Amino acid sequence: MKEILAITLAALSLHAWAQDPNASGDATRLPVDAAVDGTYKALEGAAVVRKTLADLRADDGRTWEEQKKLTEIPAPPYKEAVRAQYMLKRFREAGLKDATIDTEGNVLGLRKGGGGPKLVVSAHMDTVFKEGTDVKVKEIDGRFHAPGIADNTRGLVALLSVIGTMNANNVRTVGDVLFMATVGEEELGNLRGVKALFRDHKDIDGFISIDGTAIDRVTNTAAGSHRYEVVFKGPGGHSFRHFGLPSAIQAMGRAVAKISDLETPAMPKTTFTVGTVQGGTSVNAIAGEARMAVDMRSSNNAELAKIDAKIQAAVKEGVAEENRRWKSDQITAVTSLIGDRPAGGTPADAKIVQAWRRSIATLGREVKTLSDGSTDSNIAMSLGVPAITIGGGGESDGQHSLREWYKPTDAYLGPQGIFLTLLGLAGLEGVSQPLLEKRAR
């Protein structure tokens, strides 16, 4: 009976994946195609692959020291330039002699192949932390604490380790690999780095973002987001002498209350929050101005549009209610879009997803989870370009907080997995053909 139940549950699980190929969830029961498995068996037998994997492990200590050094180069939103100069220098030292910084501030270095598909492997340079934040690395009870030490300094140094070790071993890919350190992934950077990439480069066939640390999951679903600043304005006045005038803060409060009561679907996951509020001049003044910032997210563009419309309606209703209460028409609200990230997804059975899963299996580990998130991969996924976001190795927690920490536990597995994944996708000359296909131009 237990065996029958297990078979039934497995069948239902596979049916669910067939119904929603972008769904997040358990990755352990998903199959690997024979072609993908065959590619990795060929790669595992190649001497240059075994040598490069060994060298990536040997590079672990140096990479960790560089991670601490790079963490202490601040990279607040829109102020990544100093870190970009460091990455440019290191790209060139690692063997990408023609590396450049583009007009948006991204660092780009192309490693030419033999005419196959073009794969981008990237990591973002910016952090969420404002200018002046203490980014000194401090060891506390075996953990290394610093804002940005995992998100995403780990991704950057993993990228550098892969570039340098591939070049040291003269690994020749069939396809081109464009290595990239991006700007504008966090906060109101609005993915400006990868938006510029896809604006200026129309020949990209696949995209990998290294973000964070975990190697036992892969992000294949892009949570889209809209972010707004809403500014409420009114006449303002003295709290006693001008009592009876409408208040910008009270109008905002009415809108916030209505937003708080909105309902959203659990699947696809759709969320909202009023993240910040401010306004008024003093405790004894009727507020003449107030403002709030609102974030909404969904892994489905249609649901994102629905919650957007409901929040816009809540703002209008809040204004109308405050004006009715005081028999006025003096309260207004202006809504400005300050963030726009499209939703999208890469199917769970896509070869780029399978390549990461099979690469980690080569290393004796397992990818357990397919997840959703908002990363640089959003843009590629929204355009239909095969894309995933993966971790750079090690342990971490507390991202986006001053409590962020990192431990370099088996951290070398990150660069090893990245190397194997890009090799499977781009192909290895004389050993394997690319799993990644050229897209129609």
204-244 pLDDT, tens digit per residue, is: 999 999 999 999 999 999 999 999 999 999 999 999 999 99
- 162-172 pLDDT, tens digit per residue, is 999 999 999 99
Closest CA to 410 of 172, 118, 213, 159: 213
CA 271 to chain centre: 17
Radius of gyration, alpha carbons of the chain: 25
Q: What mean pLDDT do residues 118-147 have?
A: 97
Q: How far apart are the first and last CA of the chain?
A: 53
Average model confidence (pLDDT) across the chain = 94
Closest CA to 173 of 1, 6, 420, 360: 420
Helix (H, G, I), strand (E, B) or coil at 198: helix
Q: What mean pLDDT do residues 77-94 have?
A: 98
66 vs 153: CA distance, rounded Å: 9
Domain boundary assignment for the chain: 21-223+344-426, 224-341
**345: which strand partners?**
221
- 232-284 pLDDT, tens digit per residue, is 999 999 999 999 999 999 999 999 999 999 999 999 999 999 999 999 999 99
Handedness of CA 139, 141, 145, 150 (dihedral sign): positive
- 416-436 pLDDT, tens digit per residue, is 999 999 999 999 999 999 999
- 316-375 pLDDT, tens digit per residue, is 999 999 999 999 999 999 999 999 999 999 999 999 999 999 999 999 999 999 999 999
User: Which two three-digit tokens encode residue 160?
Assistant: 């550098």
CATH class assigned to 21-223+344-426: alpha beta
pLDDT value, residue 24: 58
Q: Residue 23 pLDDT more than 90?
A: no
Percent of the chain surpassing pLDDT 90: 93
Q: How confident is the model at residue 8 (pLDDT cuts 50, 70, 90)?
A: very low
- Can the peptide bond before residue 106 be classed as cis, meaning omega within 30 degrees of 0? no
pLDDT value, residue 390: 98
289 vs 250: CA distance, rounded Å: 10
**Fold held by 224-341:** Alpha-Beta Plaits (3.30.70)
Q: What mean pLDDT do residues 105-133 have?
A: 97
pLDDT value, residue 187: 86
